Structure 1
């Protein structure tokens, strides 16, 4: 958006920039199609990162009936979930331990449910039901989970963690009975 804003007085460059973005988006559509263009871009980008890092990535998300969630919140929720899962897998140095991320999004009863499971070796710490970062710079980190929670709060969603010895599971529940049919006016 900033790029387009900076190019707004040069129609040729704006047109060229938009066409390049369209080409990128088309290339993403071939891999994952969740029913949401923003989510498709995020999922495809994170899948590519996982492939380069040797992380098995499994994704099954149907987001087509969840059009009330604003793009900024789609981005905040899914980018942070997957960034955290990728970071956890990056800490695995034992070649006998499989690095994997499984993310599923589906409608169950009156909720859109997102479940992300990833392998891990690090110990997870909680304080007052909040996940604590294990990074050295505590001030600048740990914001991802807060961002997810902040986005979920807008939709009366709930975030639950399951911490097991070798895997971490994050569950999100977003009620479907929102007051709006869509974020688009």
Structure 2
């Protein structure tokens, strides 16, 4: 058991990084934005994992495997976001309830739905995450934090690509016939 009696750093406090040299007031804005994106990414990640576990039907294997790849990419992006928040002198957000509380997205409820409905819900959340990332890319640029801007751009590219692919899964053209 830990003998530490006090937190080394409180969540929400930002300590200026001597190496990165972004003023504390700017770093606070950036860490807040990053924690918002971290929360949104993890909420989306958990919804994608839910659909990965629950997908059924003729297209099960392809969608199951694809959603596993999406989840892995989201988790990797979340790691980049959290590490950048820490590098800027902040404390990355953690914990499921905290993610949902701070996220600009709302997950679907805990029930299981058909895969089309699930993917429609995912597509909606992808759009919200994309908008948040774009807003925070502009913020990072306006504050002169080009590293955060570039990292978020790379994450945005991946998120947009997955959103686009999910949109394709939802098209009417399919080989599966229903009787």
TM-score by length of 1: 0.32
TM-score by length of 2: 0.33
Structure with the higher strand share, 1 or 2: 1
Q: Which has the higher contact order (CA 8 A, sep 6+)?
A: 2
Structure with the higher helix share, 1 or 2: 2
